[in-house]
Amino acid sequence: MTFVVEGPNEVVRHVSAQLDRLIDVVEVRDITEKNIVWRELALIKVTADALARREILELVNIFRVNVIDIGAESLTVEISGGRQKIDSFIELVRKFGIEEVIRTGRVATLRGTLIAGEVDGLFQSDTNQSNYTLPIPGDDTGSV
């Protein structure tokens, strides 16, 4: 389980100490100053009769959302990205009727590294020549 805590250092240390006291906690890491990748995830169940389904599927394509279930009267989608992307999608499908929203909030992990070498222009390198990130079209965070 990942927790993203925003606040003064004292608050972050306090939360970290509280989490570290839990019996099943394997490790608590402060990644504040690290190179990270973060996202939010939401599952959204939208009312979708035959007429609405076409318009909802157009939004699904625009937002690069995954349809994970289709029923006779609804469809459920999985969307990941930043808060603004998810909020915007929810606002646009609200007119059809939202039956359920399950949302993670922000989750994060350390960014991976690759061995330095020829990358044929596919990767952007940061200041340390051994770290590379693959750019995602339309992603304002620059994260993978």
**One domain, residues 41 and 104:** yes
pLDDT tens per residue across span 84-139: 999 999 999 999 999 999 999 888 888 887 666 544 444 444 444 444 444 444 44
Domain around 3: 1-33
End-to-end CA distance of the chain: 20
Q: Which two tokens stand for residue 126?
A: 């940061």
What's the whole-model pTM score? Answer: 0.62
**One domain, residues 98 and 83:** yes
* Alpha-carbon span 120 to 51, nearest angstrom: 46
143 in a structural domain: no
User: Would the pLDDT of 143 be above 90?
Assistant: no
DSSP class per residue in 90-143: HHHHGGG-EEEEEEEEEEEEEPP---SS--TTSSEE-SSTT-EE---TT-TT--
Of 53, 103, 88, 58, the C-alpha closest to 74 is: 53
Of 69, 63, 28, 22, the C-alpha closest to 46 is: 69
Query: Is 73:48 a contact under the CB 8 Å cutoff?
Result: yes
Q: Which two tokens stand for residue 73?
A: 């009267």
142 in a structural domain: no
Domain count for the chain, please give it.
2
- Residue 41's contacts (CB-CB under 8 Å, 6 or more residues apart) are 78, 79, 80, 103, 104, 107
Residue 47's domain is classified under what CATH number?
3.30.70.1150
